[in-house]
Amino acid sequence: MATTETTESTGAEGGHESGVFPPLDATSFPSQLFWLVIFFGALYLLMSRMVLPKLGAILTKRKAQMDGDIARAQALKDETEAAVKHYEKALGDAKANANDIARDTKAKVTAEIDGEQSVLDGELSKKIKDAEARVAKAKAKAMESVESIAGESAADIVASLTGGKTTKVAVAKAIAGIKR
Amino acid sequence: MATETVVNDPIHQFRLHSLFDLFSVGGHQISFTNSALFMGLIVLFITGFLLMAASKAAMVPGRLQSIGEMWYSMIHNMVNNVLGEEGKAFFPLVFSLFSFVLIANMFGMFPYFFTVTSHVIVTASLALFVVGLVVVVGIYKHGLGWFKLFVPHGVPIVILPIISVIEIISFLSRPISLGLRLFGNILAGHIVLKVFAGFVVSMIAAGGIIAVSSVLSLGMAVALTALEFLVAFLQAFVFAILTCVYLNDALHPSH
Nearest chain A residue to B67, by CA: A55
Q: Which of B94, B96, B202 to mutate to test the interface with A (most CBs of A within 10 A)?
A: B96
Confidence of residue A4 (pLDDT cuts 50, 70, 90): very low
Contacts of A28 (CB under 8 A, 6+ apart): A22, B16, B33, B35, B119, B121
Quote the pLDDT of residue B225: 93
Amino acid in the structure at residue B129: F
Average pLDDT over residues A130-136: 92
Which residues 151-180 of A have a C-beta within 8 angstroms of B?
none
DSSP helix/strand/coil, A137 = helix
- Please give the residue that has the higher pLDDT: either B213 or B128: B128
- Assess B75–A contact: CB distance below 8 Å, yes or no: no
Which member of B18, B43, B119 has the closest CB to residue A42? B43
Q: Over 70: is that where the pLDDT of B255 sits?
A: no
User: Where is average pLDDT lowest: A7-11, A97-101, A160-164?
Assistant: A7-11
Highest mean pLDDT: which range of A119-123, B10-14, B205-209: A119-123
Tell me if B125 and A33 make a contact (CB, 8 A cut-off).
yes
Tell me if B16 and A32 make a contact (CB, 8 A cut-off).
yes
The DSSP 8-state label assigned to residue A49 in this structure reads I
Nearest chain A residue to B55, by CA: A54
Quote the pLDDT of residue B227: 95
CA distances from B4 to A84, B14, B99, B213, B229 (A): 84, 16, 35, 21, 27
User: Where is average pLDDT lowest: A28-42, A150-164, B97-111, B117-131?
Assistant: A150-164
- The helix-helix angle for B34-55 and B63-83 (nearest 10°) equals 100
Q: Over 70: is that where the pLDDT of B34 sits?
A: yes
Which residues 25-44 of A have a C-beta within 8 angstroms of B?
25, 27-36, 39-40, 42-44
The DSSP 8-state label assigned to residue A139 in this structure reads H
User: Where is average pLDDT lowest: A168-177, B11-20, B94-103, B136-145?
Assistant: A168-177
Average pLDDT over chain B reads 88
For residue range B162-181, what is the model confidence (pLDDT) as tens digits?
888 998 999 999 999 999 99
Contacts of B186 (CB under 8 A, 6+ apart): B105, B108, B115, B117, B118, B231, B232, B235
Tell me if A54 and B30 make a contact (CB, 8 A cut-off).
no
* A12, B5 contact by CB (below 8 A): yes
CA distance linking residue B219 with residue B215, whole number of Å: 6
Q: Over 80: is that where the pLDDT of A172 sits?
A: no
CA distance linking residue A16 with residue B73, whole number of Å: 48
Quote the pLDDT of residue B142: 87
The DSSP 8-state label assigned to residue A17 in this structure reads S
* A28, B17 contact by CB (below 8 A): no
For residue range A65-91, what is the model confidence (pLDDT) as tens digits?
999 999 999 999 999 999 999 999 999
Contacts of B252 (CB under 8 A, 6+ apart): none
Amino acid in the structure at residue A107: A
Which member of A8, A16, A39 has the closest CB to residue B40? A39
Query: What is the per-residue DSSP string for chain B?
Result: --HHHHHH-TTGGG---EEEEEEEETTEEEEEEHHHHHHHHHHHHHHHHHHHHHHS--SS--HHHHHHHHHHHHHHHHHHHHH-GGGGGGHHHHHHHHHHHHHHHHHHTSTT---GGGSHHHHHHHHHHHHHHHHHHHHHHHGGGGGGGGS-TT--TTTHHHHHHHHHHHHHHHHHHHHHHHHHHHHHHHHHHHHHHHHHHHHHHH-HHHHHTHHHHHHHHHHHHHHHHHHHHHHHHHHHHHHHHHHHHHH----
Q: Over 60: is that where the pLDDT of A10 sits?
A: no
Quote the pLDDT of residue B7: 54
- Residue B98 CA, distance from chain mean position: 7
Tell me if B191 and A29 make a contact (CB, 8 A cut-off).
no
Q: Over 70: is that where the pLDDT of A7 sits?
A: no
Backbone angles phi and psi of B154, in degrees to 5:
65, 20
- Residue A175 CA, distance from chain mean position: 88
Q: Which of A12, A36, A142 is CA-nearest to residue B7?
A: A12
Q: Over 90: is that where the pLDDT of B33 sits?
A: no
Confidence of residue B250 (pLDDT cuts 50, 70, 90): confident
Amino acid in the structure at residue B27: G
Percentage of the residues of chain A whose pLDDT score is greater than 70? 87
For residue range B50-87, what is the model confidence (pLDDT) as tens digits?
999 998 888 888 899 999 999 999 999 999 999 988 88
The pairing of beta strand B18-25 with beta strand B28-33: antiparallel
Tell me if B25 and A65 make a contact (CB, 8 A cut-off).
no
For residue range B186-239, what is the model confidence (pLDDT) as tens digits?
999 999 998 898 888 888 888 888 888 888 889 999 999 999 999 999 999 999
Tell me if B25 and A30 make a contact (CB, 8 A cut-off).
yes
Confidence of residue A157 (pLDDT cuts 50, 70, 90): confident
Which member of A9, A29, A43 has the closest CB to residue B100? A43
